[in-house]
Structure 1
Amino acid sequence: MIKTAVLDVTQIEPRLKHPTIFEHFDALEQGESFIIHNDHDPRPLYYQLLGERGNIFTWDYLESGPETWQVQLTKPAAEAEETVGEIAAKDMRKAEVFKKLGIDFCCGGKKTLKEAIAELGLTEAQVKEELERSAAAGSGQATHDFDSWDLGFLADYIYNVHHKYVRESGPVIEQLAEKVASRHGAVHPELFGLAKGLKELMAELYSHVQKEERVLFPAIKTLERSDDPAQMAFGIEGPVHMMEAEHDSAGDELKALRKLTKDYELPVDACNSYTYLFDKIKEFENDLFQHIHLENNILFPKALKLEKERLSSAGAL
């Protein structure tokens, strides 16, 4: 942090002027600035800074002579790097690339791409190549521009597509897992753990979607319809964070099931039911990832932003 907001270099010994200015600049945090006060145009300093520090500053004349020159020297705040969730929200083709590479863009969607790459031991060049290939190839199927949808419409889509899928497929998978465990558990005891884990996961998801439908989704729709915060029974930030925490929990449970089954590797003695069970679980996992992605990376952030705008315009902030 610098000691002064205005540095009067007219009071500094000539040979120390530039070194002193450099010291002040180097001490700046990103987003901070100070003003150089001088009795002549300090333009030569601009070129020296550019040569020795690079293009990492802004130079704004506040006063340009003839007797006094003042320049505001700023070290701009670093632009926030996009998260994998934000990248996936803007382009589902890139989401497919993330899925292919094993990059978690739903529960792990708040990580930057660099962080996700480092965790998986991938290279930036490899990921960049895959992303560029997806953009060049386009998509073989129509994709929805979820990011442009109204919040209420998106919430209804999640309910009609993903919530209903959970309720319809969950019981089928639970029953099938119990059946396969009873028939093959003696040879493959991990199936008992799989059946137990699926039962617990489904119970949590049934409760989760019910809370979204009864509490959070109606609140988001009310927020979108009215610019009067007084009509909100409660703020949505708390419920949103609760739902995100439950998403993380579901993601962790799915990872544990994958580890238990060695990524759903079928044994040589797998029957048709065994094979069908693993196919259904993988299908369920893909749907749940899309479900969580739409909420964590699109619906919830946009709803929180809208609530903040509503409260700010009402003078509540």
Structure 2
Amino acid sequence: MTTALIEQTLGSLACRIPGATRVFRQYKLDFCCGGDTPLRDAAMQRNLDAQVIAGELAALTGEPATEPDWRGEPAGALIEFILERFHERHRDQLPELIRLASRVEQVHGNKPDCPTGLAEHLWSMQQELESHMLKEEQILFPMLQRNIQLPQTQGPIAVMRYEHDQHGAALQRLAELTNDITPPANACNTWLALYRGLEELRGDLMQHIHLENNILFAQAH
């Protein structure tokens, strides 16, 4: 069982096993932008034991799914879910995170573990995400909802995948600025609230990219 799991890609495992994305986030395996990478190779790149991770995934296979298996749903249903669950959520999350980050930098800027530059980075992420989501909402999603096939959708999908890679790089920079979103021992309530929100944003954005790259775009043919 675990040997078979090791040969499968992170994206396919994330699609098939409820809770797999939680395990991948725990081990810092990139199942969204790096969804085409087999578990064996992804684990090797991070000096992890693929058998241990596969064992954890195998233990999850009997767990009840918390959301539908989107591979079996129409593209229109998945698009509606993405719009409500992620596009609206990101638009709510980022302004508040920018406000909190500005406050932390303002009050604690003299401390060595202050995430200096975080507010500016989050502002850049907000601009890039907003531009990206508008392109999906105005161009690509309507094409997919009308069941327009390749090659017409190939260009827009390639652009979205490229921008997803940029979002992945932005999340990596976010981790670098915040000690992997780990607050210091003496963090105030604002600092703690900021990092809780950043953890939520990271999880949401990775799930968002995973659903598009590994299911929605993969099925557009």
TM-score, normalised with respect to structure 1: 0.64
| Cα drift, residue 121 of structure 1 | 0.9
Alignment gaps of 5+ in structure 1: 1-80, 306-317
Q: 1:293 aligns with which of 195, 210, 216?
A: 210
- Could you give the per-residue CA deviations for residues 187-211 of structure 1, whole angstroms, max 9, x where no partner exists? 2475231111111111100111111
Question: What corresponds to 1:205 in structure 2?
Answer: 129
Count of paired positions: 215
Matched, 1:187 2:99: no
Amino acid at match of 2:133: V
Closer, same or farther: CA 96–266 of 1 in aligned 2, 3 Å: closer
Question: What corresponds to 1:178 in structure 2?
Answer: 102
Give the conservation status (yes or no) of the 8 Å contact 2:116–2:177. Answer: no
| Structure with greater helix percent | 2
Structure 2: how far apart are the matches of 1:238 and 1:106? 20
Matched, 1:264 2:181: yes
Q: 1:280 aligns with which of 173, 187, 197?
A: 197
- Could you give the per-residue CA deviations for residues 207-251 of structure 1, whole angstroms, max 9, x where no partner exists? 111110000000111126xxxx7xx9x711111111111111111
Structure 2: how far apart are the matches of 1:202 and 1:92? 29
Amino acid at match of 2:16: K
| Cα drift, residue 118 of structure 1 | 0.6
Q: 2:81 aligns with which of 129, 148, 157?
A: 157
Structure 2: how far apart are the matches of 1:289 and 1:129? 23
Q: 1:104 aligns with which of 11, 30, 42?
A: 30
Q: 1:127 aligns with which of 38, 41, 53?
A: 53
Question: What corresponds to 2:219 in structure 1?
Answer: 302
| Cα drift, residue 92 of structure 1 | 2.8
Larger radius of gyration: 1
Amino acid at match of 1:127: I
| Structure with greater strand percent | 1
Give the conservation status (yes or no) of the 8 Å contact 1:97–1:134. Answer: no
Structure 2: how far apart are the matches of 1:150 and 1:135? 24
Amino acid at match of 1:155: I
Q: What secondary structure sits across from 1:301 in the alignment? A: coil
Q: What secondary structure sits across from 1:171 in the alignment? A: helix
Structure 1: how far apart are the matches of 2:180 and 2:118? 12
| Cα drift, residue 161 of structure 1 | 1.0
- Identity of matched residues, %: 35
Structure 2: how far apart are the matches of 1:204 and 1:84? 26
Structure 1: how far apart are the matches of 2:177 and 2:85? 29
Matched, 1:93 2:10: no
Amino acid at match of 1:109: G
Using CA pairs below 8 Å that are at least 6 residues apart, which structure has the higher relative contact order? Answer: 2
Task: Report the RMSD for the aligned CA atoms in angstroms.
Answer: 1.8
Matched, 1:217 2:134: no
| Cα drift, residue 147 of structure 1 | 1.3
Matched, 1:251 2:168: yes
Matched, 1:167 2:91: yes
Structure 1: how far apart are the matches of 2:58 and 2:44? 19
Matched, 1:82 2:82: no
Question: What corresponds to 1:145 in structure 2?
Answer: 69
| Cα drift, residue 155 of structure 1 | 0.7
Question: What corresponds to 1:28 in structure 2?
Answer: none
Give the conservation status (yes or no) of the 8 Å contact 2:9–2:36. Answer: yes
